[in-house]
Homo-oligomer: A and B are copies of this chain.
Amino acid sequence: MFNPIKNLIESRVSTGRYDPARSLSDQQLTELVRLATRAPSAFNAQNWKFVAVRSAEAKARLKAVSFGQQQVEDAAVTFIVCGTLGAHRSMPRALQPSVAAGIVPQSVADAWVAMATEAHQGNPQLQRDEAFRSASLAAMTLMLAAEGMGLSSGAMSGFDTDAVVKAFELDASEVPVMLVTIGYGLANNWPQKPRRPLQDVMVLA
């Protein structure tokens, strides 16, 4: 049976070299974020934010705080994928569409908010862990969505976090977790690199 997602997972490469002449429309950027936000998050908190860096000015600003990496300039867009701290505080709003659609009863939403508040309040490490989890799930979905649209993508963790926060006036609760470049890859990118043997990373219990 042909399995397109298998094919896509196997053929994705971490793209570093992009055609600088090709851009993406705002409609394409919106579609990418729409799909990225279909990723799961704990309690459906959706504790994430996506800054689509696509103007020449904003690209220069981001490049300066990501060790001058050229792909930030050349890719059509680089998303600053942020996870947000204090997810329990924004949950009532995040869950409202699920309640309105009649999927999550209000009493369940209230119980989730209470559980999350009890666990996260006063626990900054757990809040940070949750921000990294949600943002990374969304970032992976974003990359595979891009591949599905015939685009190339690359994840970058090489950036100065504090400088990114300052340069893009992020809120104190917004943690830049990953940069994701998306655009039209050139032919001279590396192939997907081979992985460690499965027996090194897998245990059957």
Shortest distance from the beta carbon of A186 to any chain B beta carbon, whole Å:
16
Q: Contact: A8 with B9, CB < 8 Å?
A: no
Whether A149 is near chain B, meaning CB under 8 Å from some CB there, is: yes
Taking CB atoms and an 8 Å cut-off, the chain A residues in 74-102 that contact chain B are 93-94, 97-98, 100-101
Q: Contact: A10 with B38, CB < 8 Å?
A: yes
Q: Contact: A137 with B155, CB < 8 Å?
A: yes
Q: Contact: B157 with A52, CB < 8 Å?
A: no
Taking CB atoms and an 8 Å cut-off, the chain A residues in 155-196 that contact chain B are 155, 157-158, 168, 177-178, 190-196
Whether A204 is near chain B, meaning CB under 8 Å from some CB there, is: yes
Taking CB atoms and an 8 Å cut-off, the chain A residues in 89-129 that contact chain B are 93-94, 97-98, 100-101, 103-104, 128-129
Given A94-B196, A133-B177, A198-B30, also A38-B52 (CB < 8 A): no
Given A53-B205, A132-B133, A198-B33, also A192-B38 (CB < 8 A): yes
Q: Contact: B191 with A103, CB < 8 Å?
A: yes
Please, how many angstroms separate the alpha-carbon atoms of A135 and B162 in the complex?
24
Q: Contact: A147 with B30, CB < 8 Å?
A: no
Please, how many angstroms separate the alpha-carbon atoms of A29 and B40 in the complex?
22
Shortest distance from the beta carbon of A47 to any chain B beta carbon, whole Å:
10
Whether A21 is near chain B, meaning CB under 8 Å from some CB there, is: no
Please, how many angstroms separate the alpha-carbon atoms of A98 and B148 in the complex?
26
The 0/1 profile, CB within 8 Å of B marked 1, for residues 1-43 of chain A is 0011110111010100000000000100110011101111010
Shortest distance from the beta carbon of A33 to any chain B beta carbon, whole Å:
5
8 residue pairs of the A-B complex, CB under 8 angstroms, read A5-B145, A9-B35, A14-B40, A37-B196, A46-B195, A49-B202, A128-B129, A132-B133
Q: Contact: A148 with B198, CB < 8 Å?
A: no
Known: A5-B148, A49-B202. 6 other contacts (CB 8 A): A3-B149, A6-B149, A14-B40, A14-B44, A39-B140, A50-B201
Q: Contact: B193 with A52, CB < 8 Å?
A: no
